[in-house]
């Protein structure tokens, strides 16, 4: 059994469990064996002094739901070995929030252009500093801060 | 006899023909694309106005309807598609997003207006514009082509 | 002769990608050996913008997620927000919401059916479907004042009441809906070419479906009777009779059958709502101006709803101010599309359009 750091409940009555980030892979594996076969989403929250990774689980047999959270400073283990769907969710969380998933097979930007600077959903992302994207001959993107270099 | 002869310049005849046989490019970006589809669908049927054949390749078409939000990642690709179209070519910017960034203008990944990417002939407001507006834009474009005001 | 792998780039502008999807395909002859979807061409920073304004303001971005079924998106948002702020909603509003959501689901499935026909080389269903869809739109237009993006649901109720005239319109429309839909259905079912091209194409096993987090009609087509309207009822779905269609095959044909049956069931729900619609307020009178709701909220909430594409919900985290601290969209198409490689690899390139369109991706929602 993996120790649980603390428990809480969300407004819609779903249990929230906090786990240490070292144990997250092990803990989710346990939960998956217990019947939580669906990984609905992985996301992150930027609390300025730390980041939190949030996993929403669902058991398709009982219909039960569970939220698992882990505090991190920007790195956590990937759960792609447990759920195939975790792949894109983790890439998105890396793209927009800059949380690194160790052991992910292909941790690249998914929504923004490759080469983008910064992670926009961070609270300190500079919204006034515009970036411009252009296309290279081979179809890849280039990103620059100069307006004349792209759109 | 004189009733059956139409005297015109070659230029005018060409302009008349261009305006009445616009071939739009099937190219949907976002929500506005659904209204574009409605305009070509049963109820609105804009084939009535001489713009019948939606073409799937930029090289076959001469009207680009930019229907939706232009993101920074998509903008260079729109430019490339525009460059691939054959002359003469026209652009209708459909909706608030394509015209000026729309509700997303304050964001980090949206281009504020497709006119920064390709030259635009007709803008339509609305979010989304109703199919009637699109038909009006088409008529406007045809009139302007016939008057020789649009040159590309 | 040596095997040669050819790389083909598909999109982001392609008539059968339903928007701006790009797929990098590797081919061995005609067979797909690798397929990698590339997304993000419609990334409109909806989450960031929603975290920059008051709660009601986020609704315009929610509207534009799945633009084919905007009311379903709004429902996910208002339910979550009401839970977070503990706002009560009058009964009449709940029933109106239920009716509107089902009407919008029908419109969304009609778009899918029409464009799916186009992708399979059938032009006529497109025109039939758009004819029927316009009928739904006329009703929605009458009630909400807008055709595609409504901004009709509000935190605390709905913006305007349904009028007797619009109810009359719905009744007239319902009277021949099933007949018209069956007519369209038969175009698909009786087309030998369509059936031959879609039976056994784009199969996704139930295990893979669950592992990829795929929900909605695609899950039901793979053999699991799972519908949040039945399994975790919200609004008043527990007081209504309807069936959840499901199929075993998990291929493109099964998805078509499931979606068409869902439309019949949605019409059934609308008919029952018309009978049961109670009188009363359509809006919680405590909040007289819905757009100006400035309620400070803490905690978090996520109410899953069954959108036409699958499980949709908004994960809201409040920090005690009137602005959402974290606004995360769980979008069904995103998860569904991530399963694309499993459905494409091993099939012929000609099956690709069928498989991609059977997923019904809407890019406003995939890229957000
Ligand atoms: S103008 Fe409105 S409807 Fe059109 S693409 Fe932009 S947000 Fe969507």
CA distance B43 to C298: 48
Evaluate whether B29 touches B68 at the Cβ level (below 8 Å): yes
How many residues are there in chain C? 368
DSSP H stretches of helix in chain B: 10-20, 31-40, 75-84, 95-100, 131-146
Beta-bridge partners for C318: C299, C324
CA distances from C282 to C75, C92, C157, C171 (A): 15, 6, 6, 21
Q: Which chain C residue's Cα is nearest to B55? A: C15
Nearest CA of chain C to the CA of A10: how many Å?
A: 5
Select the residue of C42, C127, C148 nearest B69 (Cβ to Cβ).
C42
Q: Of B31, B70, B110, which is closest to residue C65 (Cα–Cα)?
A: B31
Q: Which atom of ligand 1 is nearest to the CA of B31?
A: 8
For helices C91-119 and B31-40, angle between their N-to-C axes, nearest 10 degrees: 70
CA distance C326 to C345: 37
Q: Which chain A residue's Cα is nearest to C342? A: A84
How many residues are there in chain B? 152
End-to-end alpha carbon distance in chain A: 53
Instruction: Kindly state the average pLDDT of the residues B44-53.
Output: 79
Domain boundaries, chain C: 6-367
What is the CATH topology of the domain spanning C6-367?
Cytochrome-c3 Hydrogenase; chain B (1.10.645)
- A-chain CB neighbours of B108 within 8 Å are 120, 125, 127, 130-131
Q: Per mean pLDDT, which range of A39-53, B7-21, B109-123 is the poorest?
A: B7-21
Using most ligand atoms within 8 A of CB, pick from B38, B94, B97, B113 the residue to mutate for ligand 1.
B97
- Token pair for A78: 């990937």
CA distance B143 to B123: 15
Evaluate whether B136 touches B6 at the Cβ level (below 8 Å): no
Percent of the residues in chain A that have a pLDDT greater than 70, as a whole number: 100
> Ligand 1 centre from C43 Cα, in Å?
13
Rg of chain A in Å (alpha carbons): 18
Q: Which chain C residue's Cα is nearest to A62? A: C231
pLDDT of residue C106: 92
CA atoms within 13 A on the CB side of B26: 19
Nearest CA of chain C to the CA of B73: how many Å?
A: 6
Mutate to test the interface with C, among A35, A81, A88 (most CBs of C within 10 A): A88
pLDDT in tens, A20-58: 888 888 888 888 888 888 888 898 888 888 888 999 988
B129 pocket-lining for ligand 1 (C-beta < 6 Å) = no
C40-57 in b/e form (b: 16+ CB < 10 A) is: bbbbbbbbbbbbbbbbbb
CA distance B94 to B133: 9
Query: What domains can be seen in chain A, in order of their start residue?
Result: 6-107 (3.30.460.80), 112-151 (no CATH)
Tell me whether residues C368 and A111 touch, CB distance under 8 A: yes
Per DSSP, the three-state class of C82 is helix
Using most ligand atoms within 8 A of CB, pick from B103, B111, B123, B131 the residue to mutate for ligand 1.
B103
> Ligand 1 centre from B98 Cα, in Å?
8
CA distance C276 to C72: 21
Ordered strands of the B63-67 beta sheet: B24-25, B63-67, B90-94, B122-124
pLDDT of residue C17: 65
| Phi, psi torsion values for C198, nearest 5 degrees | -105, -25
Contact C22/A at CB under 8 A: no
CA distance A35 to C90: 37
Q: Which residue has the higher pLDDT, B148 or C82?
A: C82
Nearest CA of chain C to the CA of A63: how many Å?
A: 7
- A-chain CB neighbours of C210 within 8 Å are 37-38, 60
Beta-bridge partners for A19: A70
Q: Whose CA is nearest to atom 2 of ligand 1?
A: B127
Residues of chain A with pLDDT under 50: none
Average pLDDT, chain C: 86
CA distance A131 to A145: 5
Q: Which residue has the higher pLDDT, B54 or B94?
A: B94
Nearest CA of chain B to the CA of A117: how many Å?
A: 11
Reported confidence tier of residue B152, pLDDT bands at 50, 70, 90? low
Q: Of B142, C123, C207, which is closest to residue A85 (Cα–Cα)?
A: C207
**Has residue B6 got a pLDDT over 70?**
no
Evaluate whether B63 touches B23 at the Cβ level (below 8 Å): yes
Q: Whose CA is nearest to atom 6 of ligand 1?
A: B97
Q: Which atom of ligand 1 is nearest to the CA of B95?
A: 1
Contacting chains of B (3 CB pairs or more, <8 Å) are A, C
What is the CATH topology of the domain spanning B23-146?
Rossmann fold (3.40.50)
Average pLDDT, chain B: 83
Instruction: Kindly state the average pLDDT of the residues B99-118.
Output: 86
CA distances from C158 to B22, B142, C35, C49, C155 (A): 43, 42, 44, 23, 8
pLDDT of residue C65: 87
Evaluate whether C281 touches C189 at the Cβ level (below 8 Å): no
CB atoms within 10 A of CB B137: 20
CA distance C249 to C204: 9
B31 pocket-lining for ligand 1 (C-beta < 6 Å) = yes
CA distance B133 to B122: 11
CB atoms within 10 A of CB A23: 16
CA distance C175 to B62: 43
Select the residue of A120, A125, A151 nearest B116 (Cβ to Cβ).
A151
Evaluate whether A30 touches A57 at the Cβ level (below 8 Å): no
B103 pocket-lining for ligand 1 (C-beta < 6 Å) = yes
Q: Of C322, C314, C247, C310, which is closest to residue C76 (Cα–Cα)?
A: C314
Q: Per mean pLDDT, which range of B91-100, C143-152, C285-294 is the poorest?
A: C285-294
pLDDT in tens, C85-97: 888 888 888 899 9
Evaluate whether C45 touches B101 at the Cβ level (below 8 Å): no
CA distances from C333 to A88, C312, C359 (A): 12, 9, 8
**Has residue B1 got a pLDDT over 60?**
no
ipTM of model over 0.85: yes
The pTM of the full predicted model, rounded to 2 decimals, is 0.90
CA distances from C345 to A10, C36, C210, C222 (A): 40, 10, 18, 18
Ordered strands of the C5-10 beta sheet: C5-10, C22-28, C31-38
pLDDT in tens, C176-189: 888 888 988 888 88
**Which residue shows structure tokens 């799937």?**
B56
Tell me whether residues A14 and C302 touch, CB distance under 8 A: yes
Nearest CA of chain A to the CA of B55: how many Å?
A: 23
Rg of chain C in Å (alpha carbons): 21
Which H or E run contains A40?
A: strand A38-46
**Which residue shows structure tokens 């175009």?**
C187
Tell me whether residues B76 and A151 touch, CB distance under 8 A: yes
Evaluate whether B60 touches B122 at the Cβ level (below 8 Å): no
- Token pair for A118: 């910064």
pLDDT of residue B7: 66
Rg of chain B in Å (alpha carbons): 16
**Has residue C39 got a pLDDT over 70?**
yes
pLDDT in tens, C119-168: 888 888 888 888 888 999 989 888 888 888 888 888 888 888 888 888 89
pLDDT of residue C248: 87
pLDDT in tens, C95-110: 999 999 999 999 999 9
Peptide bond into C284 cis (omega under 30): no
pLDDT of residue C300: 87
Percent of the residues in chain B that have a pLDDT greater than 70, as a whole number: 94
CA distance B78 to B80: 5
Q: Whose CA is nearest to atom 8 of ligand 1?
A: B31
């Amino acid at each position: 059994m993996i120790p649980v750091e603390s428990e809480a409940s969300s407004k819609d009555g779903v249990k929230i469990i906090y786990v240490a980030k070292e144990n997250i892979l092990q803990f989710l594996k346990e939960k998956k064996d217990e019947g939580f076969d669906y990984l609905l989403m992985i996301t992150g929250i930027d609390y300025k002094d730390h980041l939190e990774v949030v996993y929403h689980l669902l058991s398709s047999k009982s219909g039960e739901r569970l939220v698992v959270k882990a505090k991190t400073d920007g790195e956590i283990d990937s759960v792609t070995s447990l759920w195939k769907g975790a792949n894109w969710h983790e890439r998105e969380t890396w793209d927009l929030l800059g949380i690194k998933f160790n052991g992910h097979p292909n941790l690249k930007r998914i929504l923004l252009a490759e080469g983008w600077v910064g992670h926009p959903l961070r609270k300190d992302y500079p919204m006034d500093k515009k970036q411009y994207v252009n296309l290279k001959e081979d179809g890849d993107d280039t990103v620059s801060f100069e307006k004349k270099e792209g759109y | 006899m004189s009733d059956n002869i139409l005297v015109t310049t070659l230029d005018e005849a060409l302009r008349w023909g261009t305006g009445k046989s616009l071939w739009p490019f099937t190219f949907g970006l976002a929500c506005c694309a659904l209204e574009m589809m409605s305009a070509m669908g049963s109820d609105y049927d804009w084939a009535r106005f001489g713009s019948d054949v939606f073409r799937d390749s930029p090289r076959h078409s001469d009207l680009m309807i930019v229907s939706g939000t232009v993101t920074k990642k998509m903008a260079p690709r729109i430019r490339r598609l525009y460059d691939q179209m054959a002359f003469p070519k026209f652009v209708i910017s459909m909706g608030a997003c394509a015209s000026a960034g729309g509700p997303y203008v304050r964001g980090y990944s949206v281009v504020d207006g497709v006119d920064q990417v390709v030259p635009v002939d007709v803008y339509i407001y609305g979010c989304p514009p109703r199919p009637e507006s699109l038909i009006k834009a088409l008529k406007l474009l045809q009139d302007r082509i016939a008057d020789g005001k649009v040159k590309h | 002769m040596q095997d040669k792998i050819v790389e083909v780039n598909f999109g982001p502008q392609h008539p059968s990608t339903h928007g701006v999807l790009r797929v990098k395909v590797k081919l061995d002859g005609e067979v797909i050996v690798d397929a990698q979807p590339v997304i993000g061409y419609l990334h409109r920073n909806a989450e960031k913008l929603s975290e920059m304004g008051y709660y009601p303001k986020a609704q315009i971005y929610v509207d534009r997620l799945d633009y084919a079924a905007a009311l379903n998106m709004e429902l996910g948002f208002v339910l979550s927000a009401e839970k977070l702020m503990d706002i009560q909603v009058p009964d009449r509003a709940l029933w109106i919401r239920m009716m509107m959501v089902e009407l919008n689901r029908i419109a969304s499935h009609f778009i899918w059916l029409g464009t799916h026909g186009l992708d399979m080389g059938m032009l006529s269903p497109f025109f039939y479907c758009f004819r029927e869809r316009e009928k739904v739109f006329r009703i929605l237009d009458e009630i909400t004042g807008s055709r595609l993006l409504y901004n009709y649901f509000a935190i605390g109720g709905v913006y305007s009441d349904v009028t007797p005239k619009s109810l009359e319109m719905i009744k007239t429309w319902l009277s021949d809906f099933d007949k018209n839909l069956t007519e369209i259905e038969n175009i698909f079912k009786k087309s030998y070419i369509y059936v031959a091209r879609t039976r056994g194409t784009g199969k996704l096993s139930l295990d893979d479906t669950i592992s990829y987090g795929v929900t909605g009609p695609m899950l039901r087509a793979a053999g699991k009777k799972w519908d949040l309207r039945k399994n975790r009822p919200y609004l008043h779905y527990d007081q209504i009779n309807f069936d959840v269609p499901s199929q075993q095959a998990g291929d493109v044909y099964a998805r078509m059958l499931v979606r068409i049956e869902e439309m019949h069931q949605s019409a059934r729900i609308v008919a029952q709502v018309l009978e049961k619609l109670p009188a009363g307020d359509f809006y919680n009178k405590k909040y007289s101006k819905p757009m100006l709701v400035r309620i400070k909220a803490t905690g978090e909430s996520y109410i899953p709803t069954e959108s036409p594409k699958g499980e949709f919900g908004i994960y809201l985290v409040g920090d005690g101010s009137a602005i959402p601290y974290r606004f995360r969209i769980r979008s069904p198409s995103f998860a569904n599309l991530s399963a694309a490689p499993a459905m494409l690899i091993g099939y012929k390139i000609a099956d690709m359009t069928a498989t991609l369109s059977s997923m019904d991706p809407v890019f406003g929602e995939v890229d957000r």
